[in-house]
Amino acid sequence: MTDISLEELGKADERPRILIVDDIPSNLLAMKILLRDVGADLVVAHSGNEALSLALDMQFALILLDVQMPEMDGFEVASYLKDNPLSAETPIVFLTASNADEINQIHGYMSGAIDFIPKPVNETILISKVLIFLELHQNKNRLVSALREVHRQRQILQATFDAVGDGVIATDRGNRVSWMNPSAQRITEWLADSGCGQDLDEVFPLFSADGMPMNEGLFDPSQNGGLRADEPQTMLRTKAGALLPVTRSASLVRDTEGEMIGGVIVFQDASDAYARQLALIGEAETDPLTGLLNRAGFNKRCQVLLSEQKCDLALLFGDLDLFKPINDAYGHATGDVVLKVIASRLSDCVRTEDIVARWAGDEFAVLMVCNDRSDAEQMARRLIEAVRQPIAVGDHGEEVVVGISLGIALASESSWNQTELLASADRMLYAQKTRRDRLASRIRG
C-alpha cells in the first residue's frame, strides 16, 4: 500500500465524489440517474485517459470503471490509478458484462479492483454497494481527522514539555524510561538516546540527604505520588554522581480498562530552596553570638549519634569559672567578647567529628567519639588548659582569666539514653564544682 499524508486524505466533512468511467454516454447518464440520491458528487469520464487526468486533480471516494473501453480498457486504467498516490487507496468497482468469466475477474482483482457489478446494472445492488463504500470512505475520513487532531495535540504537548523548566520522564509498564524532555535530560545528565530503555532507578535514583534510597513506592497512590510531607529532602544522584536536591511528583498511567501501562514523573531542581532551608535550619540551630550550635542543634545531632551506636560517646558538660566578675567589672559587651574567644578555643581543641555547643549563658557542651573514659578525660584536660589562657579585653591591653569546670558522662554508661546522658553529665559537673568549692573554702580557712 502507498503511504499518503494526512493532508492528502482530505477532511471528514467534505462531500464525497464518485468517478464513473464509461465510453458510452447513455451508460453514464443512466448511472447518474441511478446514483442521484446517494449523497455524493458524480463526476463522469468518457475514456481511460480522461479518468486518469481527473484522478490527478481530484480525490474520489469510489471509482466505477467500465471494463470494455476502446484504446485503454478498464484493467489498464485500474493499474495506472493504483500507481497514482492520490488514487492508490480509492476503491475501484468494475462494471462488466463478462463477470461470469473467472479469468477476467482474477485479472480485475490483480489490476486493483475490489468488486464487480454485472451489466445490465441492478439498481438495488448498485446503490447498496455504493452506499457501503461511501460509508467506509466517511469513516476513514473521520478517523483521519481524529488522527490529525491527536497529532496536533501531541505536537502542542511536545512543544510544551520541551519549553517547561520542569523535568518530565515517562516510563513503560516495566518501569523503564520511555521518554525524557530536555529539562529532564539537563537535570539528570542523561541524554534521551542513552536514558530511554534504562530502568527508572538507573536514570532517576533518589536518596535522602543521609543516603537512604527513596525510589521504592514512587508510584504508590497512598504515598501521594511518592511525595510525603514528612519525608526528608529528596536528593537525585545525577549520571555524573552528584547529589542534587529535587522536588517531584509521580502518577501512574492507565489504559481504558484501568490496567497500568506506565507512569510519569515531574520534578524540579530544588537547589535554591534547599539552600534556603539549610540556612533557616542553621539559624534556628546556631547560637548567634558564638556561631556554635545552640541547645536545639546540639540535641538534634546528639540524638542521631546515639541512635547509630557505632562507638562510645562522651559528653563533657561545663560552665565557666570566674565569668560573672568579668561581666560585673567590664560590662556585658566585654563578657560577650570573652564568650566568643572561649567558643573559638573549644572548637580548636576538638576533632571534626566532635560537636561543640553553647548550652546557655556561660555553659558549654562537647560531645566526642571515644574508646573509653580516659579519652574523655584527656580531652577535658586539653579544654581546661585552652580556656584558662589570658584573654585580652578593652583598648588598654587588659587581660582577664577564666576557667571551666567539666562533668563527664559516657553514653555506654547511660544506656544510650540522651536524657540520662545529659543528667549524668550535669551531676558530674555539680560534683566537680562542689569539690572545687570545698577545696577553696579549706584554703581560705
pLDDT in tens, 121-141: 889 989 999 999 999 988 988
Note whether 23 and 46 are within 8 A (CB).
Answer: yes
Note whether 374 and 362 are within 8 A (CB).
Answer: no
Name the burial class of residue 1, with classes exposed (0-12), middle (13-18) and buried (19+) by CB atoms within 10 angstroms of its CB: exposed
Residue (of 58, 122, 114) closest to 87 by Cα position: 58
Reported as a single tens digit per residue, the pLDDT across 261-290 is 999 999 999 888 877 777 776 678 888 899
pLDDT at 228: 46
Greater confidence (283 vs 402) lies with 402
The grid coordinates of residue 377 equal 578525660
Greater confidence (244 vs 157) lies with 244
Cis peptide, bond prior to residue 288, ω within 30 of zero: no
* DSSP-derived secondary structure letter, 415: T
Q: What is the pTM of this model?
A: 0.49
Residue (of 200, 199, 251, 243) closest to 227 by Cα position: 251
pLDDT at 212: 82
pLDDT at 440: 57
Q: What are 87's strand-pairing partners?
A: none
Reported as a single tens digit per residue, the pLDDT across 209-226 is 777 888 887 776 555 444
Of the pLDDT bands very low, low, confident and very high (cuts 50, 70, 90), residue 10 is: very low
Mean pLDDT of the chain: 84
**Residue 132 exposure: Cα atoms within 13 Å on the Cβ side:** 10
Give the Å distances, CA to CA, from 258 to 11, 262, 369, 435.
33, 12, 55, 77
Of the pLDDT bands very low, low, confident and very high (cuts 50, 70, 90), residue 110 is: confident
Give yes or no for residue 258 having a pLDDT over 90.
no
pLDDT at 108: 65
Give me the phi and psi of 393, to 5 degrees please: -135, 155
Of the pLDDT bands very low, low, confident and very high (cuts 50, 70, 90), residue 199 is: very high
pLDDT at 343: 94
pLDDT at 11: 46
Three-class DSSP category at 111? helix
Greater confidence (80 vs 224) lies with 80
